[in-house]
């Protein structure tokens, strides 16, 4: 894992935090000094991770498609930790199917989690971050947000949409000191730790001039194919 950055005093909400990349991100942020609201619908795993991380983490049942859950998550951060500085939209849903094999219900479900959820999240935290004088939002996309791929029509559509939403939010919220960036992940074994390191950097004051960026953590996969 890359050397840590300084996140002392910062408070972040991380969605999809109970397992996988979300749990790795949460552990990294706490290790770097942040306090974290772990948002997920996997209650048992979320509570177990909060117990593991101790006083610097609290679990909140957060269905990212629920505006009410988002409001409660922001309120919990403010009540429990006294502030909110950052949001990491990591929760994601993948349906592997071609365009013709993707049923409308599944397409909508993927968009609800991967695009509508981050939209609700950014709306939920925007006012608090404005009043705080700034903050950082990191949206976790995928390499499929940078190019097309077979068999992931709904997933790729949602992640391309998330990139566009991130850029609009970066432009609108930048004047309030709120930075919005997108990380496009790969699928190699080291990717979760590398993604977590980039998230920590983007939440830190070391990245104060970075916003509206698409940061690929994919081993140059989306750059093209080598013929050598």
Q: Is residue 101 part of a domain?
A: yes
pLDDT at 29 over 80: yes
Q: Is residue 199 part of a domain?
A: yes
Domain that holds residue 196: 11-219
CA distance 99 to 102: 5
CATH of the domain at 55: 3.40.50.720
Q: Is residue 227 part of a domain?
A: no
- Give 166-199 pLDDT, tens digit per residue: 999 999 999 999 999 999 998 665 699 999 999 9
> Which one from 59, 70, 81, 155 is the annotated catalytic residue?
155
pLDDT at 78 over 90: yes
Judged on CB neighbours under 10 Å (0-12, 13-18, 19+), 10 is: buried
Residue 12 pLDDT: 98
How many domains does the chain divide into? 1
Residue 221 bears catalytic tag: no
pLDDT at 5 over 80: yes
Q: Is residue 224 part of a domain?
A: no
Instruction: Give the three-state DSSP class for 183.
Output: strand
Q: Is residue 1 part of a domain?
A: no
CA distance 117 to 136: 17
Mean pLDDT taken over the chain? 93
Q: Is residue 78 part of a domain?
A: yes
* Structure token digits, residue 204: 């830190």
């Amino acid at each position: 894992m890359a050397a840590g950055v300084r996140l002392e005093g910062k408070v972040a909400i991380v969605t999809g935090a109970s397992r996988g990349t979300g749990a790795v991100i949460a552990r990294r942020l706490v290790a770097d000094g942040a306090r974290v609201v772990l948002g997920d619908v996997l209650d048992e795993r979320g509570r177990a991770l909060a117990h593991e991380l101790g006083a610097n983490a609290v679990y909140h049942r957060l269905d990212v498609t629920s505006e009410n859950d988002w409001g409660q998550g922001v309120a919990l951060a403010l009540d429990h930790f006294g502030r909110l500085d950052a949001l990491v939209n990591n929760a994601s849903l993948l349906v592997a199917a071609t365009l013709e094999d993707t049923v409308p219900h599944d397409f909508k479900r993927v968009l609800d989690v991967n695009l509508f959820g981050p939209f609700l999240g950014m709306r939920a935290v925007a006012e608090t971050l404005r009043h705080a004088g700034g903050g950082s939002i990191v949206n976790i996309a995928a390499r499929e947000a940078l190019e097309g791929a077979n068999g992931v029509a709904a997933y790729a559509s949602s992640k391309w949409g998330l990139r566009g939403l991130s850029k609009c939010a970066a432009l609108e919220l930048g004047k309030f000191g709120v930075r919005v960036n997108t990380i496009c992940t790969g699928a190699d074994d080291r990717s979760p730790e590398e993604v977590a390191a980039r998230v920590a950097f983007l939440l830190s004051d070391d990245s104060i001039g970075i916003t509206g960026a698409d940061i690929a953590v994919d081993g140059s996969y989306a750059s093209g194919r080598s013929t050598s």
